[in-house]
Structure 1
Amino acid sequence: MSVKGRDELATLGRSFNEMAASLQDQFERLNGLSKVQQRFVSDVSHELRTPLTTIRMASEMIFEARGGFDAGTRRSAELLHTQVDRFESLLADLLEISRFDAGAAVLDAEHLDVRAIVRRAVDLAAPLAERMGTLISYVEPTEPCRADVDPRRVERILRNLLANAVEHADRNPIEVVVASSESAVSVSVVDHGIGMTQRQTEHVFDRFWRGDPSRARTIGGTGLGLAISLEDARLHGGLLEAWGRPGVGATFRLTLPLRAGVVIDSPPGPLERAHEDVEPVPVRHGPSPAALPELGDL
C-alpha cells in the first residue's frame, strides 16, 4: 500500500505493509525449505542405489545357497531377499516422486488402443488375485479406445489400482470396466471388499498414508503407489477418482483424454454405486475443477 502522511490510515498502511513483507518472507523460506527437501530426497535416493546394488548381489548369493543352511538361517536368507526387493521398490518410487516434484517427469505419448494396455495389466494381476482368492472380471467396448497415452505410465497406474483392489477385496470379485466417449476413455477398478469412509477417500492418494494402520499389508506395497498413480494421471491431463463405502467396497476410476489438451467434462466410466443410504461424495483428483457428473448404477 502506498503510505502518505502520519495519520491513522497511514499507520494502518505501514502495519499492513509490514505484515505483507513478513508473510512474503515466510513464503520464501517455506519455498526454499520445500526445494531443499525435494533435493534431499532426490540426492539420497540416488546415493542409495550404489550400496543397494552391492547388497542385492550379496543377498542373491545367500538366497541361492539357502538350501545348505539350517532352518533359522534359511528363513533369514528368505527374509533378507524379500526386504531387499521391497527396498528396491521403495527406492524406485522415491526417485519417481522426486522427478514429479522437480517437474522433470516427461510424457512419452503414443496413439494407442487403451484396451490392450488394460488387458495386459489384468493378465499380470490375475496370478496375484488367484493367490489371494479373488477373481478379476473384465468388460470393454467392442470398438477401439485409442488415445494419446504413455503406455508405461498408464500400465503402472492400472497395476497399482489392481494391486490395491486385490489387497482390500477380502476374496470378493473385482471388476475392471473400460468405457469411452467422444473426448475421453475411462478405466474403473471396482472391488466389493472392506471399502472406505469419506475421510479415507479424501486421503487415499496421500504419500505413505494408510487408511487402517492396524491392518497388515499382505502384498507389501511401498505406500507411494497411489500417489505416483495420481501424478501419472495428471501428467496425461487426466483424472484419478476414488469412491468408497465401508462394507460395500471401493471404486477407482482413471479417465484420460483422447487427445492432449482436451478438457474432461464427463468421465464415461462408472464410479458411484447405488445404496439404500445416502451416497458419500466421490473425490476427484486432477487438473479439472468441474463438478462430478451423476453416474448410473454399476
Structure 2
Amino acid sequence: MRIRNKVLLTMSVPVGLLIVQVMTVNHFVRELQAAVSFIGSAHAVIEADFVAEEMVARLRAQARQLPSRAVAAAPASAEERAAQRETWDRLDASVALITASGATKAAVPQAMAGLTEALAGARARYAEAERLAVDGAADLTTLIGPAIAAERALGDLGTALTRTTVELRRELRNAVERERAIHDRPVIAGVAIGGAAVLLLLAFTWFFVDRYLVRRLMALSGSMKAIAGGNLRVPLPPAAGADEVADMARALTVFRDTAVEVADQNLRERQVVLDTIDYGVLILDAGLGVVMHNRAFRDLWMVPEAMVRPGLAMADLLEILRRRGVYNVRDGEWRSYVDARIAAIRAGSGPPAEWRWPDGRVLQYEIVALPDGGRMLTYFDLTELKRVEAELRLAKEQAELASRAKSDFLASMSHELRTPLNAIIGITEMLVEDAESDGDTHLEEPLGRVLKAGKLLLQLINEVLDLAKIEAGKLELQPEEFDLRALVDEVVETAEPLADRRRNRIRLDADPGLGQAQTDPMRLRQILLNLLSNACKFTENGEVTVTARRHGDRLVLAVADTGIGIEPDQLPQLFQEFHQAGAAKHRKYGGTGLGLAISRRLVGLMGGDITAASEIGKGSVFTVTLPDRAPVTAAAA
C-alpha cells in the first residue's frame, strides 16, 4: 500500500474527531460572542443614557430660567449660546447612539420610537419658548406657559430615558448570567474532543510516522548530505518495499552509482592531464587529505605511487618524506615544523617560495586555495634554472669587466693617438703655408686632403675619448655661471659656415630674459654645435631654427630643421652609439654616429633630457631640457 493511502486511512478517525470538535466549539463560541456583544453594547447604551439625562437636566434648568431672563432683558451671551448648542448636540448624539444600539433593539425595541418622538417634542417646545423670550414683545404670563411646556417635554424625555435604562439593565443582568453559564463550555468541549484526537495523532505519529517514515527518511537524508559533501562511497538505506520511500532509496542508489562512475571517469581524465604536467602537483581536500597527485610529484620526491594513496593526511605524508631523507630537521624540532607547514597550507594562497634540499636541489613551492576549500601544492625544480642564472650572472660580470677594460683602453689609446695626430696636423698646416708662400700650387690639394683627414680623425678620437670617459665615470663637469644668451649667439655664429655650405639659413628665437645659467658651458656648447651640425648636414636650401626658453628653473633649447627627416622606426635607436638613422642612401652625409649618443650622455650628466621628433620630408626637432644649475660630478655610465 502506498504511503498516502496508509496516512489517509489512519488519519480519518482523528480528523473526524477534530471536525466534531470544531463544530461544537463553534456553536458555543457563537453563543458566547452574542452574549459578550450584547453586554458591550448595553454598557455603551447605559453610558450614553447617563450623558443624555445629564443634558436633559441642564436644559430643564435653562428652560425654567427663560421667563426671568426675558423680563430682566438679559439675553444669552455668545458663549452661553455656544454651550447651549453643544448641550443639544450631545443630547442628540446620545439619543442616536441609544436608538441605534443593538442592545436597545434586542431588549426594548418599543423604546426607540418613543425616545425619538420625545426628543423631537422637547426640542420644538424649547425652541418656541426660547423664541418668545428672545422676541421681547411677550409679557411674563405669555412666557411662563411655553417655558413650563418645554420643561415638561424635557421631563418626559428624561422619564423615557430612565425607563429604557431600567429595562436594559435587567436584560444586561440576564446576559451576564448567560455568559457565565456558557463561558467554560467551549474549553471543556475542545479539551475533551481534542484530547481524544491528540491521543490518536500521537499514537499514529509513534507507530507509523516515526518508526515507519521518519527513520527511513532520516537515513536517506543523511546519505544525500554525505553524497552532496563529496562522499560518494557512503552506505545507503535498504530499498525494500513498494512505497515512495523505497522508490527514493532505489533512485538514490542509481544516482550514487552513476555519480561514482562519472567521478571515477573524471578522476582518470584529470590524472591523465596532471601526468602530462612537468612540475609536481599535489591536490588536497578541505581536511588536508590527499586527493590526487601527478607523476612529476612522485618523481620529484622519489616516492612510489602506493605510498601517496588518496585520503592520506598531509602530516603523515610529511612523515613519509622525512623518512626518505627529504627534510633535514632534528627530531626535537620536527613536531613544530610539521605544525608550521600545516598552518601555512591552511592559510591558503601566498607568494611562491624557494626551498633548498639537503642534496642541493632548489624547488619553487607554492600553495593555491581551491574553491571547494582544498589546496593545490605545486613544486617546480629550479636547480637547472639557478645554474643557468649563475652562469649568466658570471657572464654579465665578465662582460662588465670587459666593458670597463674597453673603456679604459679607449681612453688610454685616444690619449696616445691624439699626441702624434696633433703633430701631424701641425706639420701639415706648416707645409700648406710653405706651399702657398713658395707658390707650389701642385702641393696645396694633397696637403689640404691630408689636413682635412687629420682633423676628422682628431674629431673622431675626441668623440671616442669623451664616450670612454663617460662610460668609465671619469668625465667631470666644470660648472660656472655664464650668460646663456651670449653662449647661444656664439654657437649660432660658429655654425654659420656649416649652414652656408648647404645654402641654409639659421634663425634664432630666444627669450629676451634668458638670464644666467650655472652648468658646464663648454659641454653645453658641444651639445648645441652637435645638434646644429646635424641639422645643417641633413638640410639643403632650407632653414634651421634655434629656440631658447626659460620655464622657471628649467632651460629648454631646441634645434629644428626643414631637412630630410628621420623614419619613425629609427627614432628609438637614434641616440645609440655608432648608429646612423636612415637607409644606406643617407650615409652619404657621413659622420661617426657618436654625436647624438655623446650629447644624450652629456645632457644626462647635467640632470636633463633630450628628445627627438621628426617627419619624413619635413624635418626634425631636437629638444634639450636642462636645470639652470647642473650637478658637479658625472656618474659612471
Say whether the 8 Å CA contact 2:600–2:610 is kept in structure 1: yes
Deviations 1:61-101 (A, max 9, x none): 33223344464x43221111110111111111111111111
Match of 1:19 in 2: 388
Deviations 1:133-173 (A, max 9, x none): 11111111122343332111111111111111111122211
- d(CA) in 1 for partners of 2:422 and 2:629? 40
Change (3 A) 1:215 1:17: closer
- d(CA) in 1 for partners of 2:491 and 2:547? 13
Alignment of 1:101 with 2:471, yes or no, is yes
- d(CA) in 2 for partners of 1:133 and 1:252? 21
Unaligned 5+ runs, structure 1: 262-286, 288-298
Change (3 A) 1:60 1:3: same
Rg bigger for which structure? Answer: 2
Say whether the 8 Å CA contact 2:460–2:592 is kept in structure 1: yes
Matches within 5 A, 1:206-221: 206-211=576-581, 212-215=583-586, 221=591
Change (3 A) 1:111 1:52: closer
Change (3 A) 1:160 1:4: same
Say whether the 8 Å CA contact 1:3–1:13 is kept in structure 2: no
Alignment of 1:4 with 2:357, yes or no, is yes
Q: Please point out which of 555, 580, 585 is paired with 1:185.
A: 555
Equivalent position amino acid for 1:155 in 2: R
| Deviation of 1:57 (Å) | 3.4
- d(CA) in 1 for partners of 2:593 and 2:388? 40
Alignment of 1:33 with 2:386, yes or no, is no
Unaligned 5+ runs, structure 2: 1-353, 365-379
Match of 1:290 in 2: none
- d(CA) in 1 for partners of 2:629 and 2:431? 50
Q: Secondary structure at the match of 2:540?
A: coil
TM-score, scaled to structure 1? 0.79
Q: Write out the 4+ residue segments of structure 1 that deviate beyond 4 Å after TM superposition.
A: 5-8
Match of 1:80 in 2: 450
Q: Secondary structure at the match of 1:133?
A: coil
Deviations 1:41-78 (A, max 9, x none): 1121122123223322332233223344464x432211
RMSD: 2.5
Aligned residue pair count? 260
- d(CA) in 1 for partners of 2:358 and 2:517? 63
Say whether the 8 Å CA contact 1:135–1:172 is kept in structure 2: yes
Moved more, 95-104 or 127-136: 127-136
Q: Please point out which of 584, 609, 626 is paired with 1:256.
A: 626
Q: Secondary structure at the match of 1:65?
A: helix
Equivalent position amino acid for 1:3 in 2: R
Say whether the 8 Å CA contact 1:205–1:226 is kept in structure 2: yes
Matches within 5 A, 1:143-154: 143-154=513-524
- d(CA) in 1 for partners of 2:541 and 2:504? 5
Moved more, 49-58 or 129-138: 49-58
- d(CA) in 2 for partners of 1:203 and 1:92? 22
Q: Secondary structure at the match of 1:215?
A: helix
| Deviation of 1:119 (Å) | 1.4
Alignment of 1:53 with 2:422, yes or no, is yes
Say whether the 8 Å CA contact 2:407–2:469 is kept in structure 1: no
Equivalent position amino acid for 2:550 in 1: S
Match of 2:608 in 1: 238
| Deviation of 1:246 (Å) | 0.5
- d(CA) in 1 for partners of 2:483 and 2:429? 39
Match of 1:161 in 2: 531
Q: Secondary structure at the match of 2:381?
A: helix
- d(CA) in 2 for partners of 1:36 and 1:245? 40
Deviations 1:234-278 (A, max 9, x none): 1110111111110010000111112347xxxxxxxxxxxxxxxxx
- d(CA) in 2 for partners of 1:8 and 1:133? 69
Equivalent position amino acid for 1:87 in 2: L
Equivalent position amino acid for 2:479 in 1: A
- d(CA) in 2 for partners of 1:111 and 1:16? 54
Say whether the 8 Å CA contact 1:86–1:222 is kept in structure 2: no
Change (3 A) 1:21 1:198: same
Change (3 A) 1:12 1:140: same
Change (3 A) 1:146 1:217: farther
- d(CA) in 2 for partners of 1:112 and 1:54? 33
Say whether the 8 Å CA contact 1:148–1:258 is kept in structure 2: yes
